[in-house]
Chain A
Amino acid sequence: MKVLLLKLWMAVAAVLLLPTGSPLAQPEPTAPAVGSVLQQLPGASLKKTGDLVRQLEQAGGAEMRPLFEVMLAGDLYYVKESGQLLQIQKNSDGARMGISLFEGKSLGEFNSRDIKKVRVNNRLRSQLRDAIARIELLHGDEAAQIAAVLAMLDDLNEQNLRLLQTAQQAGVSAEVSTLIELAEAMVQLRTSTDTADRLAAIEVMQGRLETPVRNQLQRLVNSDSEQDVAVVAAAQKALDKISGRMEFYGQMEQLFFGLSLGSVLLLAAIGLAITFGVMGVINMAHGEMIMLGAYTTYVIQQLMPNAIGYSLLVAVPAAFLVSGSVGVLIERGVIRHLQGRPLETLLATFGISLILQQAVRSIFSPLNMQVVTPEWMSGSLAINPVFSITYNRLYILLFSLAVFAALVAILKKSSLGLNVRAVSQNRDMAKAMGVRTEMVDAMTFGLGSGIAGVAGVALSQLTNVGPNLGQSYIIDSFMVVVFGGVGNMLGTLVGGFSLGVANKFLEPATGAVLANIIVLVCLILFIQKRPKGLFPQRGRAAE
């Protein structure tokens, strides 16, 4: 396959190079050996270098790519005495380290007097970039091919087009093929004089979200020289369709951001749904449990700097244990003494939150800590040119749903969950039935706090990890729980996501802060109207 492609390419290249008129570009029966061309590079003039690059591409094909990239970056040097080509990179001390070109082996340090750079100018750079794109298109995998075609859309000429057609004939995936057809249509629209052809081209182009397509249509509609009314009308229609689709994807993006914010709110509120919703304890230190989780992530990353990829997986159970045990301590030490006095628990736990904040400030520092995002969480998933989803938000969204499902499962299926529900519905009766209510209280509070710690691991990927991390979530968390209906896990889920989405949809019109304020005020009014939230508890449990 590769050989076939190479031969095809050589034939094409021969055709392409004909009109340039350079003596070196004559069709050659056999490509000169790569080695001999390379030997001519040291000391060649800029014009000569261009010709040599062309020959190299012709002879070496895909293998020349690393050389071109080194050259494009301006790192290609040669040793003055021997004429040996090599890549030079400065290390952290500023010493010039040589690297052999195709093997990537280190050649040791070089003195700047012994080596000379292979010069490149802008024309050469653009030639190199084109060459790399061609190599990508003919030899790369599908993603590389798509990137190469998209790069070519910006600057379409006959030459590029013919290259694309060659690639298409050689066999490419359906997606690449569609893109190539799009490129053909763009050229056709520009060069053809036949109305029917141009309308057909616009037909292909309409609804495509790539920026060059939009630009070309926009230029066509705006231009005064365009005589063909039908074409202009069709272009306008295509543009409208494109902007319609763009608006749709803009909305989708808002929705995704809303869901992402919702997942953050859900994560922050979910532990509170247990301590507040099920136990009836107002835990103002809940935010600090989240903060502890985030700091645990930081500490774990400091402990295993060589395995950042796994650090989050370790941090999740660690944060659960840290926050959970602090939660159990708080329950045993303070909250136990305040049974049935919710407003006092509010004050006492607020005091605890101040102590925890100051403790973190004293132990670490008042400054924000740097939590690293592992590689598998960075980057984004591009669904189309105008809509892409960042992986960290996507994973956190999924993670929040998983945590929620796990928690519901614990409450509904496990014996601990049964005890928790029994105690929350009727403490005295549960006690009479032999449930160790004190134990259950401690465990429930530990569970709620532990979940908050897990939330902290996720939030450390999205926000700054500092002593005030918890404070910024506490009011929102309470709002989510109260909005959803206290004691109702599903309410918390719905509450979190609807608040998140509402916030993000208001944002473009009002700005982030005002959106936040509007949502808060609406919530306050909503609670006046329905004091028990979206999904009020009914029956005996409500009393």
Chain B
Amino acid sequence: MSTVKTAAQPLYRWFAEFRQPGRGTSWLVGVLLVVTLAMSAANLLLPPESPLYVSTYTITLMGKYLCFAMLAMAVDIIWGYCGILSLGHGAFFALGGYGMGMYLMRQIGDRGVYGNPDLPDFMVFLNWQELPWYWFGMDQFWFAVLVALAIPGLLAFVFGWLAFRSRVTGVYLSIMTQALTYALMLAFFRNEMGFGGNNGLTDFKDILGFDLQADSTRVALLLVTTLLLVIAFLTSRAIVQSRLGRVIVAVRDSEARARFLGYRTERYKVWLFVYSALIAAVAGMLYVPQVGIINPGEFSPLNSIEVVVWVAVGGRGTLYGAIVGALLVNYAKTRFTALMPDAWLFALGALFVVVTVYLPRGLAGLFDRFTSKNAETAWPERAKESNGGLSTAEVSA
């Protein structure tokens, strides 16, 4: 055993460096950028016959994964660092997606099946005479982006402000977030809402004048996604490492104590919640042009809770863990659903159980175990947690 250990010593040191907040995570950024750039180049520059050629399908798949990774990171910020388990983050993701979808819908113009220059197809189909007021201005990209950010942000603010001010915590909050996304799903299923009902928004043609089916657009979308993911990651890291981040962790570990020390904990929670919702909304906005559809199914509680398991698999409270977890689980999902579709829910269910019971801190926790000594010095407060990031105050609530 000891010989193995000495032989693998450099590897451990490398893991330890990886776990250092500064250098290790920059390494993740590097990998992300290099991989996506390489994939883009392989798609655009190499001929399809080449063994190194990356298909556009793969490019789009990768873009989708990275959007999910961003969503997972949004959940990790509030769950891993602030102890707020949101089972409704899919709602912010979907709202952002609907904002972008509305813009893309308006870009179709008179190229729809019914050829109506103003009304999207589904409105013509439902015999609507004019555009509902909330669709106005959505043909302008900047305005659509603004709305797609403002609506989820506002929703998160109102919800968070109400919830955290009356000190709704723990399980209650989780169930309420789930009810929120469920209510939104029911609402968006209604045709009267003016968002395409059951079918949602689809059949998009182009974005900012670029054809959505073109390889170059797909690659550009992937690169933009990577870039925004990296920016979101660095910003989030800066936040959690700042003084603000320390207070947030303190709120997670003992909200009552932080409050007695004079911090207005609910304000920290509300703003972090809004920030997290905005990241989720950006992820949704990037997701829609790449997959080409947004429908009320995105609001389903199952989707939101799946995000939580990505974070749990990767290891919460680490940011990079959320990204890695989202990529791994989604890759597994793609493979599983192609090979044995029936087995996927079994596997996902088992993943939920195994991770929570045996790996409460996910894959990042495994790394920690390898490099326990280093990890302890780097993140002293993390080693002391006995219940995986939840304080007793939350448990009793």
Contact = CB atoms under 8 A, between A and B. Distances in A.
Contact of A358 (B165, B178, B345, B355): B345
Given A342-B171, A347-B308, A529 B345 contact: no
B170 A343 contact: yes
Contacts of A478: 175, 178-179
Nearest to B305: A350
B182 interface: yes
A528 B168 contact: yes
A355 B350 contact: yes
Interface in A456-514: 471, 475, 478-479, 482, 513-514
Interface in B175-197: 175-176, 178-180, 182-183, 186-187, 189-190
Most chain B C-beta atoms within 10 Å of own C-beta, residue among A354, A471, A475, A531: A354
Interface stretch (B7-15, B93-101, B387-395): B387-395
B396 interface: yes
A531 B349 contact: no
A496 to B, nearest CB: 16
Interface in B152-171: 159, 162-163, 165-168, 170-171
Nearest to A542: B396
Nearest to A543: B396
Given A342-B171, A350-B352, A525-B162, A355 B357 contact: no
Given A343-B390, A358-B342, A517-B183, A482 B356 contact: no
A481 to B, nearest CB: 9
B375 to A, nearest CB: 21
A528 B163 contact: yes
B77 interface: no
Contacts of A524: 159, 176, 179-180, 183
Given A341-B390, A528-B166, A520 B179 contact: yes
Contact of B167 (A350, A358, A531): A531
Most chain B C-beta atoms within 10 Å of own C-beta, residue among A282, A351, A361, A471: A351
Interface string A343-358: 1111110111111011
Contact of A520 (B166, B168, B183, B309): B183
Nearest to A529: B166
Contacts of A471: 302
Given A358-B345, A528-B166, A348 B352 contact: yes
Main secondary structure of the interface of A (DSSP, over half): helix
Contact of B357 (A337, A475, A528): A337
Contacts of B353: 334, 348, 351-352, 355
Residues of B in contact with A, size category:
35 or more
Contact of A351 (B162, B178, B349, B360): B349
Contacts of A306: none
A523 interface: yes
A527 B176 contact: yes
B351 interface: yes
A362 interface: yes
B274 interface: no
A479 B186 contact: no
A281 to B, nearest CB: 10
B348 interface: yes
B321 interface: no
B357 A348 contact: yes
Contacts of B390: 341, 343-344
Contacts of B395: 340-342
Contacts of B186: 513, 516-517, 520
Contacts of A475: 175, 178-179, 182, 301
A338 interface: yes
B27 interface: no
A359 B345 CA distance: 9
Contacts, number: 128
A516 B183 CA distance: 8
A26 to B, nearest CB: 67
Most chain A C-beta atoms within 10 Å of own C-beta, residue among B183, B350, B352: B352
A322 to B, nearest CB: 19
B182 A482 contact: no
Interface in A328-381: 334, 337-338, 340-348, 350-355, 357-359, 361-362
A352 B355 CA distance: 12
Interface in A18-38: none
B171 A358 contact: no
A223 B3 CA distance: 107
B85 interface: yes
A514 B174 contact: no
Contact of A343 (B171, B176, B302, B346): B171
B312 interface: yes
Given A282-B171, A357-B345, A358-B346, A347 B312 contact: yes
Nearest to A345: B356
Contact of B360 (A344, A358, A523): A344
Interface string B56-71: 0000000000000000
B183 A347 contact: no
A344 B389 CA distance: 11
A516 B356 CA distance: 33
Nearest to A342: B171
A11 interface: no
Contacts of B136: none
B331 interface: no
26 contacts: A340-B387, A340-B392, A341-B360, A341-B395, A342-B395, A343-B174, A344-B360, A345-B356, A347-B305, A347-B308, A347-B309, A347-B352, A348-B356, A351-B309, A351-B348, A351-B353, A352-B352, A352-B353, A354-B345, A355-B353, A475-B175, A514-B187, A524-B159, A527-B168, A528-B163, A531-B168
Given A341-B388, A482-B175, A528-B162, 6 more contacts: A346-B171, A350-B352, A359-B346, A517-B183, A524-B179, A531-B166
